[in-house]
Amino acid sequence: MKTCLRNSGMGICMFILFLYAGNAYSQVIPGPVKYTDPKLPITERVNDLVSRLSLQEKVMQMQNNAPAISRLGIPAYNWWSECLHGVARNGIATVFPQAIGMAATWDPELIFSEADVISTEARAKYNECVSQGKRGIYQGLTFWSPNINIFRDPRWGRGQETYGEDPFLTGRMGIAFVKGLQGNDARYFKVIATAKHFAVHSGPEPDRHSFDAWCSERDLYETYLPAFEALVRYGKVYSVMGAYNRFWSEPCTASDLLLDKILRKKWGFTGYVTSDCGAIWDIYNGHKLQPDSVRASVLGVKAGCDLTCGDEYGSLVHAVSKGYISLSEIDISVKRLFTARFRLGLFDPDSLVPYAGIKPSENNTAGHDLLSLKIAEESMVLLKNDNHTLPFGKKIKQLAVIGPYADRLSVLLGNYCGKPSNPVTILNGIREVAGNNIDVLYAKGVDGLEDAAAKPLEKQAMNAPEPTAAEMESFALQIASKADAIVFVGGISPYLEGEEMDVNIPGFSGGDRTSLDLPANQTLLLKKLAFIGKPLVLILTNGSALSVKREADQIQAILEAWYPGQQGGKAVAEVLFGKYNPAGRLPITFYKSADELPPFTDYSMKGRTYRYFSGEPWYPFGFGLSYSKFAYLEAGVDKGIYSSADTVKLKVKVKNEGPFDGDEVIQVYYRKKDSGFERPLKSLCGFQRKNIRKGLTESLVLPIAVSDLRIFDPGIQDYYIEPGKYELLIGPDSSTPALITTIDLK
């Protein structure tokens, strides 16, 4: 180098050094640098940038923790961020109800508003982090939400992350969430959403790294795929995450069928695919399908998995040298990933990117807190209300609030959550709404099942003896006997159900559940409270179906609260005291017992969900009570015969005959009795949440797309709309229709 400098000067020597690096850089690109010019098309800019990368640099960019490339001015970027129901794992953020509670609103427009707020907070946080030089995990703009797997079995611990058991409802809620996240700018994404986990994936959690899921083609195309297709075709989701398990013996994260033939070729997906964390490692370590990381990485990239959450793709340098994969195949994935970053505006001046000006002050605002409250209110499902026990009237002067989750923060949040700045527990919500006119008495009564493991640490921290179970129960019964009514806050918590958890206690296994029953200690205390003879109200916190069938006869009212977010306590209290008229609806079936279900590992839909379950559930899909009473007066359609491209305009009249203003969720299901195919018992095809004032009648028009009445025909390997007569079943839930009308498809 010194000799070169003496003879030729710095410019020539640096050029020679550039060439001498050989393998370090792919090639010297003559002419102007294009990737920095925002006036050029993104495709041209991406092609220019990728052409300047070495193989080593390319494969490092295909890992979630992508390092900076200083010589080209490319900053580091971590692709892993979470926003299932609010920006997660990145400090203070608004925490909305868990996804299963979002689904219980049956209100896609409201969920769109939530997602728009989440993406605003995400940009606010990102802009602040970048200004401080922070580019770490959970600080980016590519979010691994929503989870749109079908909640086929209530034993799955991650079902709380989903929008329930129905493909149609899941698709509508998912589309709204994705559109709210990604924004409506023609050039730039606000953030990028990720539909996960593609595709046939819903437990068991302990087996997911080696499990091979099997189902029929009918179940695949009629249950497991429709929501993903809806998000790709109509939500324009720009990222998809593969699942850990295999499907039909192919790893989902490296499935040619799922990622290439269906996702890209059939549905026209143009974004990028990411693995779940360690899923490429699972290909050789869990599924034992390849001998090592090199071959597993090759399998993933060739199938269409562009990004690994992990470091496995570093082995692709060796794979290229061995001829297992070509540079051009690597480039396809790298270009997809950089296209996403360009579409987020990460290489353009802030003045051009409409979301770059979002300030840190736009995170965790009072308005966002109010929206969290509204969604929590709409998510509340009143399951039982004998003798109009609720709402509480003026005669209530003393109220006993009892239960392991009455004053517990965790049951507000669920999993994959942010940190709320001022959460309201159910106990504190009741105290706030009750005001000074009602004396609120509190006793824990019993421990949560998760408390046993925490007790030694709690006891050590408090440096005080813990009350015994008998002492806790005695105090609870004492205050209950004094009160005019009793509220018991029970159920389960996110410390018991969730993703691959180290939980193995009766009723739970590895994050999943083995029983749908209430914990036995809660059941025992409920019986003793009922014996006192005061009005008894049960508040359930949970992310999956519970069965309280055996105890229900002794309980006057039951309110399903889910994991209701930072304002969940206030929302519960507003329902109890009549400040809010509940109208949430179950997005899942509540069975009487897990014994009614097929084995958890059986992915056939036979005997599962309201569409295929022929038994009598505890509470059916779509169920929910109100403080008011709604009458379905008449229904009709706009014409007699429809084609496959038509949309039926279903006209429905509904009257609020009760004493309260309130929302009604009008639901429409379809069935075809004389079909030549094996079909579900019924399937949701339309719904609308509508506020109707007391005494008034509303005339509604619900659009029913004929294309949503399709069925998969294995003979032609495609969807088919069978001609003939169909019944549209209209009512407040999936069990018994209030009205039936018929349409004819030619």
How many CB atoms are located within 10 Å of the residue 384 CB? Answer: 18
* Tokens standing for residue 740: 């039936």
Measured CA to CA, the distance from residue 427 to residue 569 in angstroms comes to 7
Measured CA to CA, the distance from residue 46 to residue 58 in angstroms comes to 13
Q: Which amino acid is at 664?
A: E
Instruction: Report yes or no: 167 and 226 within 8 Å, Cβ to Cβ.
Output: yes
Give the start-end residues of each E strand in 597-671.
630-637, 641-642, 647-656, 662-671
Looking only at the bridges linking them, the beta strands covering 536-541 and 485-491 are parallel
- Helices 327-343 and 42-51, packing angle to 10 deg: 130
Looking only at the bridges linking them, the beta strands covering 711-713 and 718-720 are antiparallel
Measured CA to CA, the distance from residue 28 to residue 79 in angstroms comes to 29
Angle at 407 (CA atoms; ends 105, 114), nearest 5 degrees: 30
Instruction: Report yes or no: 163 and 522 within 8 Å, Cβ to Cβ.
Output: no
Exposed, middle or buried by CB within 10 Å (0-12, 13-18, 19+), for 92? middle
Measured CA to CA, the distance from residue 502 to residue 508 in angstroms comes to 10
DSSP letter for each residue of 578-617 = TSS------SS-B-S-GGGSPPTT----TT-HHHH--S--
Catalytic residue at 497? yes
**Nearest by Cα to 640 from 746, 730, 736, 551:** 746
DSSP letter for each residue of 91-102 = SB---PPPHHHH
CA neighbours closer than 13 Å in the CB half-sphere of residue 411 = 27
Catalytic residue at 121? no
Distances, alpha carbon 213 to alpha carbons 22, 57, 236, 510, 602, in Å? 46, 36, 27, 18, 8
Instruction: Report yes or no: 627 and 739 within 8 Å, Cβ to Cβ.
Output: no
Looking only at the bridges linking them, the beta strands covering 239-242 and 272-277 are parallel
Give the start-end residues of each E strand in 310-422.
381-385, 398-402
Measured CA to CA, the distance from residue 734 to residue 215 in angstroms comes to 25
Measured CA to CA, the distance from residue 57 to residue 130 in angstroms comes to 22
Instruction: Report yes or no: 433 and 473 within 8 Å, Cβ to Cβ.
Output: no
Q: Which residue is it, tokens 């824990």?
A: 444
User: CB under 8 Å to 187, separation ≥6 — which residues?
Assistant: 343
Exposed, middle or buried by CB within 10 Å (0-12, 13-18, 19+), for 476? buried
Q: Which amino acid is at 470?
A: A
Of 107, 207, 229, 497, the catalytic one is 497
DSSP letter for each residue of 529-563 = HHHHTS-EEEEEE-SS--B-HHHHTT-SEEEE--S
Task: Establish whether the linkage from the previous residue to 209 is cis, with ω within 30° of 0.
Answer: no
User: CB under 8 Å to 521, separation ≥6 — which residues?
Assistant: 446, 447, 449, 469
Instruction: Report yes or no: 63 and 380 within 8 Å, Cβ to Cβ.
Output: no
Measured CA to CA, the distance from residue 502 to residue 719 in angstroms comes to 42
Instruction: Report residue 476 CA to chain centroid gap.
Output: 36
Of 107, 219, 276, 369, the catalytic one is 276
- Catalytic residue annotation: 276, 497
